[in-house]
Structure 1
């Protein structure tokens, strides 16, 4: 496949992972509500309208599944943190996310998105610690790296990595708008989904 993930298109949405069907392999993306998850998914698929981009944090309220290749899924999970909505609804989102993450045998990787400029927040740490504790494979992706001043790039990458007990090279440093790091991340995702 010359351009992996380019054929990605919306498959289904669900409020409960138990209502999702089966697939050969899947990867999931999770992060704070305003971390740029939809923009990243669009950039990965080289498709401007694959995932709906909104200026209002927390618009993703269901488990959204995109299919690429034969039975390979890219899963967009609801954002956590600044999402707007009633407290009871936010609690359901957490239950929905945890139910998905612990219930999918074909899940190969969870990409946790953190803001490159802000660094990992308390909520990001909670998500990453929980994934590590439950032994679910995860990879950190620092989004919006173009917002970090060039003079701060190296130091910021070291700082973000150190706060997560990682090496700078363990983190994917990307910019959806500038395309930085997107080719490598695209090939990584495609590899996990056995598309390359």
Structure 2
């Protein structure tokens, strides 16, 4: 279990598979550099970015799923830690940003869909909702996607949201973190901050 969380009453968390660009997104949002790696599994414990002047923290939680060279039991432990962290802090987490790779997310979801298997991304989306955390799906690397609307509609379908995706703009946010193109994500996060009565946190998004 992660024990490093700063004592803050408001939090936004980033969750998702390894290598989808969470740490790059964290850097774009905070302007602060974190360890990002070509190899999955670089982030093993949470990266917290804490604004001392505000009662707010943004947290990049470790990526999970397949990681080359990482044993299964370690992968399972990371996932369990992420789930426990979100459950333990759910009352303080205003938004859970689920980061997915726009280019590969549909293939990955479909590959892991079966009678005995729920894909991690789908499971995490519904888990956030179950514990009362508003999910925003940051669909990253969209600069590499040609059939943009079709891809986003397919993602909605897999998540149990009725397409077209445009009616879910507070939930589905197509972005390119590497290019600093975060407009839809900022809008979606602000929507939920406003709903939570925390317009004072707009300055961070």
Report the TM-score when normalising by structure 1: 0.79
CA contact (8 A) 1:44 1:185 kept: no
Between Structure 1 and Structure 2, the one with more helix by share is 2
> What is the CA-CA distance between 1:35 and the residue it aligns to?
0.6
The answer to whether 1:129 aligns with 2:114 is: no
Q: Distance in 2 between matches of 1:177 and 1:21?
A: 27
Q: Distance in 1 between matches of 2:97 and 2:46?
A: 15
Q: Distance in 2 between matches of 1:185 and 1:127?
A: 18
> What is the CA-CA distance between 1:42 and the residue it aligns to?
1.3
Aligned to 1:111: 97
> What is the CA-CA distance between 1:34 and the residue it aligns to?
1.2
Aligned to 1:9: none
Q: 1:154 aligns with which of 149, 155, 178?
A: 149
Q: Distance in 1 between matches of 2:189 and 2:132?
A: 19
Aligned to 1:85: 70
Q: Distance in 2 between matches of 1:76 and 1:134?
A: 18
The change in CA–CA distance for 1:159 and 1:188 in structure 2 (over 3 A counts) is: closer
CA contact (8 A) 1:27 1:109 kept: yes
Determine helix, strand or coil for the equivalent of 1:177: helix
Unaligned runs of 5+ in 2: 110-118
The answer to whether 1:195 aligns with 2:194 is: no
Q: Distance in 2 between matches of 1:163 and 1:92?
A: 26
The change in CA–CA distance for 1:39 and 1:24 in structure 2 (over 3 A counts) is: same
Structure with the larger RCO, 1 or 2 (CA within 8 Å, 6+ apart)? 1
Number of positions where the alignment pairs a residue of Structure 1 with one of Structure 2: 176
Aligned to 2:2: 16
Q: Distance in 2 between matches of 1:35 and 1:117?
A: 10
Determine helix, strand or coil for the equivalent of 2:178: coil
Q: Distance in 2 between matches of 1:123 and 1:185?
A: 21
Aligned to 1:97: 82
Aligned to 2:113: none
